[in-house]
Every structure is written in C-alpha cells, then in structure tokens.
C-alpha cells in the first residue's frame, strides 16, 4: 500500500508531490492562522479551513526577517502572511505507523526557515520515518516583548505545530504517540524550552538538541530590548502602536539595537554575538531556566540526544561580522563575557600550549556559549533519571583553507543528507567523497533509530559514566574527559 498524494487534514485536503526515492512531500500546510492585524503579537490560533484540495507543492512564506547568509531564502513581504505552516515528508510505502521527527530550524531567534535547501528531508524520510518541519515567528514578531501579549510567541507557534502533528500525522502514515522533536542552535534552544514547558507536555516522546545556546533571558531584559526598539522607532510600547507599523520597521530597528551591543563592552557575550532575542523565562510560557528544570527531572520521561561541534564559534567569526580577538586584553574581556574566570585562561593555555590568542578565544567562546551548556543538559538529564545520549561532531571542513574547522552547523548537511546542495558543497569544499557520504548515512541511521526506539546505537549516559559518540571519519565512542576544559568550567554556573 502506498501513500496517496491527496491527504485529508483537520483544515482540509492537501495534495503533495512525489520526490525521488519513494517519498511524498507536502509543503506549506497551515497549522495556525496568519499572525497579522488583530492576531499580531498574540498566541497562535487555528487556521481557517479550506474547501478545495490545497496545492501542497510549494513552501509557505517565511517569517519576517532580515537576510543573513548568502543563498538562504529571503523574506519577501509580497509572498503573503500565511507564515505558520508545516511541511511533511512521508515514505510512499505505508507501514502500520512510522516514527515521526519534527524539525525546528535555528537562526539566533532572528532568522531562518524550513524551506532552506539544507533541511530538505527526503533522505531522512527514506530511512523509514515521517519528517515534519515548520516555520515559526522569529525576531520581534516571535520573541519581542509587547505589553499585554504573551512572551515567547515563537515557542507557542512550535507548540501549535506539535498539536497539529498530534491531530493529523496519522493521515500521513506517522505515529502520533512516537514523535521526536529536533533542532539545532536556536532550534535546540527551542527544544530544551519545550522539554520544560507545560503547554508542550505529552506532545513528543523524544528530543534531539544540537548546539544548545546558553541564552535564556529575564522579563526585565526582554522589556529593555523593547524599550530600545521603541527609542529607535519613536513608536509607543503598546500593542496597538506596534501592530500598526510594518514588520520591516521592526526588522530595521532590531538591526540598530544589535549594533548597539557591538559598541557596549559591558554587554556580556552580546558584545560579540549581538543577539537581542532569546526565550524569556517569564514564569508562564517558560516557567524556569531549562537546565535547572531538566536537572530537577522536569523531562525525565523524554529520551534525549544532544550534540555539539568541536569548533562552534568559528562559523560566526568566519561567515559573519562577529569580532575576533587577537590580544591578551581582548582575551580576558571575551573570557569574562562568556562566563569564564580570567584565572582559567591559563588552564586553556596549558591544555593548548601552541594555540594563538585567537585560537584560545574561539575555544572559550565555543565552550561557553554552546559546548559546555549542551553537555550539561545531557548529563543533568541522565542524573535526573532520564535517558540521555551525548555526541560531538568533530569532522573538520577543508573550506576556506580550514578556517571553519568543525564549526557551528557543519553537521546539518550530514544529518539531512544534503551534502550535494550549494551549502553542503561549500562546507565540504567540493563534491562529497565516499567517506563523507558514509558519515552522513551513519548519522541519518542514528537519528532514525533514535526516533524509532530511543536508542541511537551507543551507550546512554549515567551519573557515573558519559560515553560520547564522536562523529568523524572514522567515527568512535569515547568516555567524556572531565579533566580537560570541562574541569575549567566546573564551578561556572549556568
């Protein structure tokens, strides 16, 4: 029995298209109403049902955002406001019920879209799972503070998409009781937020979080950002006033606020990242800091797989305008900004005696914002009684004369099997080799097995032992070393 290209959903019938390798793709299916006019800055609401069969051959419009990297899909206001949509990749051959993997894209809570070619999920679906990806509100639309409106609207969008999956995925051959939610970077920050959000409880059984940023903000910080936005635009901080101006104005204002961080040495790590938005620990949508909640057992009934890359920060300094540190004074400032005591810089120097100041800066920033936090999420989940699997992506890109290393996001074309896309070939510096394709297939198999059974193929962490899967050519499994850089962060609170 094969998957019909015409499927009935709660909103109406949709017609998908055939992809290579026995997969049917359904794109741009609304899971919530357009967040405009009276619905702008509010929690998502149900979409208006349609009567005719909806063409699901094209992706929906992306959330309002400024362009970031060349080659990523741009936002065009003329594309329409129906931005809250999902896409489904389903194996044509029907099984009883297939595991489901829901992908949440990253992008610093500022940009990103599920239509990025690097997230094309046919190869994952060919591994025997149903894959769903989604768009959600980013930037001020999704994470800016608006008086009288819910915080974390982007996270609420993700919950609405998961509710759509629960209600509709069986029609696509998926098992609504066997859902894995996965994300990278801001998508991983979203995943660990969902792990602890009451509104998301019971909507998924497993979670994958790659490169979780140590960035969750207070309501006071969120209000400060909105006040800066108001000062730049001259618009009063009321829902009525903010809803009356086009998204382009808020996008431009956000860019100016980001630039302010770059001129403020007291801005902490935002002096380097310039990221103004993050999930808000508001006590309602997000009750507390995710790491603390996970350590207290808030998600112990969810299987968890975490991963970080070896050289996270190199992507930011190489492909964007993030400043690079070259002198000792700058290194001390950067270490403090990322939470590292100045006294620990010497510890890094002893571990890497041949490293330049710039190399040490990259290692400290990578560990402080991503690697240490991601690893702690997995370890604390295991200590709280959950099942957790840890991994590290260590394959180094030869692109740009090796400047990227194993940078932030490098694993994405491997886990999606999109090595032949322009982004994939850029990271690989050319056509994929057989060893690179083999690594990709191994990672795809691990994701598919984890989505199906909760076991990706290596030992789970325990309070006493932390086996780590090293994604490289060849792959390996080794015990986490707590005596190196990990020891330098031991007394740093997150």
Q: What Rg, from alpha-carbon coordinates, does the chain have?
A: 22
> Could you give the CA distance from residue 202 to residue 179 in angstroms, rounded to a whole number?
10
Residue 399, helix vs strand vs coil? helix
190 touches 106 (CB < 8 A): no
> Could you give the CA distance from residue 473 to residue 393 in angstroms, rounded to a whole number?
10
User: In Å, what is the CA distance from 41 to each residue of 184, 234, 247, 250, 444?
Assistant: 25, 19, 11, 13, 37
372 as an active site residue: the answer is no
Q: Which of 93, 48, 40 is nearest to 243 (CA)?
A: 40
Instruction: List the catalytic residue out of 210, 308, 311, 408.
Output: 408
Half-sphere exposure of 424 (CA within 13 A, CB side): 21
Instruction: List the catalytic residue out of 114, 185, 391, 440.
Output: 185
Q: Which of 333, 389, 388, 402 is nearest to 364 (CA)?
A: 333
Cis peptide before 180 (omega within 30 of 0): no
Neighbours of 403 (CB within 10 A): 15
Instruction: List the catalytic residue out of 123, 141, 163, 312.
Output: 312
Q: Where are the beta strands (DSSP E) in 317-381?
A: none
> Could you give the CA distance from residue 328 to residue 37 in angstroms, rounded to a whole number?
51
> Could you give the CA distance from residue 275 to residue 110 in angstroms, rounded to a whole number?
8
> Could you give the CA distance from residue 142 to residue 84 in angstroms, rounded to a whole number?
11
209 touches 191 (CB < 8 A): yes
User: In Å, what is the CA distance from 278 to each residue of 132, 330, 360?
Assistant: 23, 26, 26
311 as an active site residue: the answer is no
Half-sphere exposure of 457 (CA within 13 A, CB side): 15
Neighbours of 363 (CB within 10 A): 21
> Could you give the CA distance from residue 203 to residue 163 in angstroms, rounded to a whole number?
7
**CB proximity list for 346: less than 8 A, separation 6 or greater:** none
End-to-end CA distance of the chain: give it in Å, rounded.
51
433 as an active site residue: the answer is no
CA angle, residues 201, 469, 437, in degrees to nearest 5: 100
Active-site annotation, residues = 185, 312, 408
């Amino acid at each position: 029995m094969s998957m019909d290209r015409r499927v009935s959903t709660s909103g109406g019938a949709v017609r998908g298209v055939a992809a290579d390798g026995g997969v049917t793709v359904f794109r741009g299916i609304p899971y919530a109403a357009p967040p405009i006019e009276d619905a702008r800055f509010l929690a998502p609401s149900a979409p208006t049902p349609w009567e005719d069969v909806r063409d699901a051959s094209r992706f929906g419009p992306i959330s309002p955002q400024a362009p970031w990297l060349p080659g990523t899909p741009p936002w065009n206001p003329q594309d329409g406001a129906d931005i809250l949509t999902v896409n489904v990749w389903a194996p044509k051959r029907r099984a009883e019920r297939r595991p489901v993997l829901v992908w949440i894209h990253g992008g610093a809570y500022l940009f990103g879209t599920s239509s990025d070619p690097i997230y094309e999920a046919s190869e994952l679906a060919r591994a025997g799972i149903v894959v769903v990806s989604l768009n959600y509100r980013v930037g001020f639309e999704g994470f800016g503070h608006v008086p009288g409106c819910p915080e974390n609207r982007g996270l609420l969008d993700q919950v609405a998409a998961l509710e759509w999956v629960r209600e509709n995925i069986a029609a696509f051959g998926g098992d609504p009781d066997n859902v894995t939610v996965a994300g990278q970077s801001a998508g991983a920050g979203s995943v660990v937020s969902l792990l602890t959000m009451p509104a998301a409880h019971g909507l998924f059984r497993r979670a994958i979080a790659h490169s979780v940023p140590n960035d969750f903000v207070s309501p006071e910080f969120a209000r400060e950002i909105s006040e800066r936005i108001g000062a730049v635009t001259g618009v009063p901080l009321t829902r009525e006033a903010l809803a009356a101006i086009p998204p382009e104005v808020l996008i431009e204002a956000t860019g100016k606020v980001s630039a302010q961080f770059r001129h403020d040495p007291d801005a902490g790590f935002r002096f380097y990242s310039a990221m103004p938005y993050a999930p808000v620990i508001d006590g309602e949508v997000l009750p507390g800091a995710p790491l603390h909640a996970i350590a207290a057992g808030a998600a112990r009934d969810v299987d968890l797989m975490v991963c970080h890359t070896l050289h996270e920060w190199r992507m930011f300094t190489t492909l964007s305008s993030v400043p690079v540190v070259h002198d000792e004074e700058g290194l001390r400032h950067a270490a403090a900004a990322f939470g590292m005591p100045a006294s620990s810089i010497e510890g890094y120097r002893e571990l890497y005696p041949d490293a330049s100041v710039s190399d040490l800066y990259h290692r400290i920033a990578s560990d402080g914002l991503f690697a240490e936090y991601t690893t702690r999420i997995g370890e604390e989940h295991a200590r709280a009684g959950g099942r957790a699997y840890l991994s590290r992506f260590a394959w180094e890109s030869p692109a740009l004369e090796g400047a990227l290393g194993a940078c932030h996001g490098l694993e994405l074309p491997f886990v999606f099997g999109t090595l032949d896309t322009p982004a994939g070939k850029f990271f690989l510096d050319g056509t994929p080799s057989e060893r690179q394709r083999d690594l990709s297939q191994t990672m795809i198999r691990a994701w598919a097995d984890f989505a199906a059974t909760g076991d990706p193929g290596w030992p789970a962490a325990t309070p006493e032992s932390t086996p780590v899967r090293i994604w490289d050519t060849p792959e390996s499994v080794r015990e986490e070393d707590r005596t190196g850089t990990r020891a330098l962060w031991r007394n740093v609170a997150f």
